[in-house]
Structure 1
Amino acid sequence: MAVTDIFLKRPVLAISINLFILCIGLFSCFKLPIRQFPQLSTAVITINTSYPGANAHTIAGLITTPIESAIASAEGIDYIKSSSQPNTSSITAYLRLNANPDLVLLDIINKVQQTSNLLPNGALKPIIEKKSDGSTPLMYISLQSKTLSPQSMTDYAIRSIQPQLSNLEGVAKIDILGGKKYALRIHLDPLLMSAYGLSAEDIMKALSQNQFITTAGQVKNEYLATPLSTDTDLHDLKQFKKMLINCSDGTAIRLHQVAHVFLGAESNDEEARFDG
């Protein structure tokens, strides 16, 4: 007996099943998502490494090539692009479609850490970031001032604006473009340094020795214990200018005598403009 014979002999059963299928179809129509394109998961992982003072050829040989070779075997990577510029190495790993970016990121971090002993001593720690397909900026906010310097506006954005925006629901990340962070800049005078018999290495050594913090134990009595610490850290521009560089033959040579010391921008290589 065919299946159709059952429905022909029992019309009520046939109508009930048809109504049930119709209800399921209508319910599914309202639950189906509407998208212009299929939902695809794509992501990239970037590795940026700084090596101050190195040219592009040195960056490519000592930093980009070792890191790129190490992460090439990571699971989930489709292809890799890299660029070597003076002072900076940038590597971008494009993941396969629908690959788990968190697992790939963990694998890449482990492989980069394994190459840390191959990098030169002056290289900074690689910065590894994951960027999903939804990481395109949705909003740009421009800061302008007729009275504040670019450094002051950057400091205000970092201290006040960025934390408040980061606490908003749905905000994943906030980047400051074209910002100029405060930095102590020291412009050495070669003629004065030569007159005092100093070199750039002497200045760097003095700077490192005056930024030293350590514990020196503690002093105890029957009722009280007082911790001791050695803090040579300098805190303002005036202290840096008066920093002792050398003291030979009873003559103290201070930093402001051989260099121009001032507060400026950490870097002038980047600048952002809005509406002209």
Structure 2
Amino acid sequence: MWFTRVSLKNPVFATMLMLALVVLGIFSYQRLKVDQFPNIDFPVVVIVTEYPGASPEIVESEVTKKVEEGVNSIAGINSLTSRSYEGQSVVIVEFQLYVDGRKAADDVREKVAAVRPLFRDEVKDPRVLRFDPSSRAVWSVAVLPEAVPSAAGPPQGASAPSGGSAARAAASVGATSFKQPSAVELTNWADQVLKKRLENVRGVGSVTLVGGSKREINLYLNPQAMEAFGVSTEQVVNAVRNENQALPVGSVRSLEQDRVVQIDARMERPEDFGRIIVMRKGGAPIRVDQVARVSDGAQELESLALYNGQRTLLLSVQKAQDENTIEVVDGLVKAIADIRPQLPPGVKLEPIGDAARPIRVAVQNVRQTLIEGAVLTVLIVFLFLNSWRSTVITGLTLPIALIGTFWFMAMFGFTINMVTLMALSLCVGLLIDDAIVVRENIVRHVQMGKTPFRAALEGTQEIGLAVLATTLSIVAVFLPIGFMGGIIGKFFHEFGITIVAAVLI
């Protein structure tokens, strides 16, 4: 065969070609992303519309049906389902698998925007969400209150120091003691400092704060006082709303300068709300603190996070689309390590969830199986051939083919996952059997007294077509797997193409 003759007459060219495949494969391997499963795009779009206080029947007639009629004209829809709940409408649009998920979401947003003017004013703006299996949280950390050192006196039974030593001891205790932060202070620090630090990590899509208690100024009205002063609830609400705001007035221009004028009337302290004038009665002002009690506290809990039965704050991190989970988690761990020395007193961070760990374990197990299979294959070849030289020559096909496959995986945009590593594991046996047959036939010709060059040329030509037919038959079996339809076909696309690339190399 022509490539056999070219390789025998130009051994340097053949060696450099194999080395080029190995070098390209090594560089591609360093750039391949690692994930548990292939990155699959499911073209499913969800439309969520809230209608506060509406019954399911009203939600269906006023919202759901209008959304369905609006998006039904989009091309490529496979199924359209809807759910109408109390105060909420959910419409699920499933497209054909060949439709790009991002384009489908854009088409749905365009149709929903056209339907929005038909809704009542009470209906909130619809939210269009694209279904993404990788949008789940990949990492989470808990913000816990740390044990506070006691600033009390010496333990019972211990003698108290006297003189200067007592003063030094008191100074030491006062220096080490600190106040445990409240839930509001902890939430403010986590929201303004920790959350922003995590959002700056490369590959992070969003950070969600769960179990937070944000600061809130509450006004508790006194019905008796309101009745005595003749003040209504609406008057109090309007007074607080109108007085607590910053408004632009305009600008004052002259030949020399241009000044911007604005009203800065936002309350800076909680007690300022009590000084707001609600109304005037008989020339005397009636303030908020005369008809209500101002309380500086926390807002009602909308979510709760517990750690070992203890209330805590949880920051849940989602990665951006098409980002590597392991790289994102490594960046988050490094960010937490950098911020630990800067933690305020009484606060500690405890990582809770790590989606990269099962990926590392699964990929490492398959990788270990691949290495063990290759080593056992080489040992079995040595036992049967009983020649280290033949074993080494035959065994070189494995690293050259497997490492070179990483180059094709990078070109096709594949990742190192359980499916592609399983394909490489299966290729171990498929790759070495042809090398064994060719090597044995060459050895037979050498034993017949031919020169190594002539034995290699004639031995390869003798069974070259048979080996080529075997290789092409394997390609014919696994190539259609890479182009199967349906969800299963998307999972096995990388499997079939990886096997074909490894066998052809």
Residue number among 152, 159, 165 corresponding to 2:198 in the alignment: 165
1:136 aligns with 136
Shift in alpha-carbon separation, 1:176–1:109, aligned structure 2, 3 A: same
CA contact 1:243–1:255 (8 Å) conserved in 2: yes
Matched, 1:254 2:287: yes
Once the two structures are superposed, residues 156-189 of structure 1 have per-residue CA deviations (whole angstroms, 9 ceiling, x without a partner) of 1111111111122232222112223223222323
Q: Does 1:237 align with 2:266?
A: no
Measured in 2, the distance between the counterparts of 1:46 and 1:185 equals: 37
- Report the alpha carbon displacement of residue 36 of structure 1 after superposing the two structures with TM: 7.6
The match for 2:111 is 111
Distance change in 2, residues 1:222/1:67 (3 Å): same
Counterpart amino acid of residue 236 in structure 2: I
Call closer, same or farther: CA 1:224–1:131 in 2, change over 3 Å: same
Moved more, 200-209 or 65-74: 65-74
Look up the SS of the partner of 2:263 in the other structure. Answer: strand
**Residue 275 of structure 1: aligned partner:** 308
Report if the CA contact (8 A) 2:51-2:59 is conserved: yes
1:238-262 deviation line (CA, Å, top 9, x unaligned):
2222211111211212222222322
Distance in 2, matches of 1:95 and 1:186, equals: 48
- Cα deviation 1:77-123 (Å, max 9, x = unaligned): 6444546356xx36363544464232222223223333433444345
The corresponding residue for 2:85 is 84
1:264 and 2:270 are equivalent in the alignment: no
Alignment check: 8 A CA contact 2:184 2:214 kept: yes
Aligned residue-pair number: 257
Task: Report the equivalent of 1:184.
Answer: 217
- C-alpha change, 1:221 and 1:175, in structure 2 (3 Å) is closer
Alignment check: 8 A CA contact 2:245 2:266 kept: yes
- Residue of structure 1 in register with 2:185 after alignment: 152
Q: Which aligned pairs between 1:114-125 and structure 2 lie closer than 5 A?
A: 114-125=114-125
1:90 and 1:140 map into 2 onto residues whose CA distance is 30
CA distance in 2, matches of 1:207, 1:65: 40
CA contact (8 A) 2:43 2:104 kept: no
Q: Contact conserved, 2:68 with 2:91, CA < 8 A, in 1?
A: no
Q: Any gaps of 5 or more consecutive residues in structure 2?
A: 9-13, 147-179, 310-505
Higher mean alpha-carbon deviation, 93-102 vs 170-179, is at 93-102
Distance 1:174 1:191, change over 3 A: same
Give the deviation of 1:131 after TM superposition. Answer: 4.5
| Alignment RMSD | 3.8
Which is richer in helix? 2
Paired position in structure 2 for 1:93 = 92
More strand by share: 1
SS at match of 1:235: coil
Contact 2:63–2:89, Cα closer than 8 Å, also in 1? no
* Structure showing greater relative contact order (alpha-carbon pairs closer than 8 Å, 6 or more residues apart): 2
- State percent identity of aligned pairs: 22
Query: What stretches of structure 1 of length at least 5 have no aligned partner?
Result: 1-11
- For the 8 Å contact 1:49–1:127, the answer to whether it is kept is yes
* Contact 2:212–2:301 (8 Å) recurs in 1: no
Match of 1:208 among 238, 241, 244: 241
Seen in structure 2, the aligned counterparts of structure 1 residues 194 and 160 have a Cα distance that, compared at 3 Å, is same
User: What is the identity, as a one-letter code, of the residue corresponding to 2:85?
Assistant: S
**Which shifted more, 235-244 or 55-64?**
55-64
Q: Contact (CA 8 Å) 2:80, 2:92: kept in 1 or not?
A: yes
Q: Compared with structure 1, are the counterparts of its residues 95 and 189 closer, same or farther at alpha carbon in structure 2 (3 Å cutoff)?
A: farther
- SS of the residue corresponding to residue 307 of structure 2 reads coil
Please say if residues 51 and 123 of structure 1, whose CA atoms lie closer than 8 Å, have aligned partners that are also in contact. yes
Structure 1 residues 85 and 230: alpha-carbon distance in aligned structure 2, compared to 1, 3 A threshold? same
- Deviation of the 1:208 alpha carbon: 2.5
Q: Is the 8 A contact 2:41 2:101 kept in 1?
A: no
Q: 1:38 to 1:215 in 2, by over 3 A?
A: closer
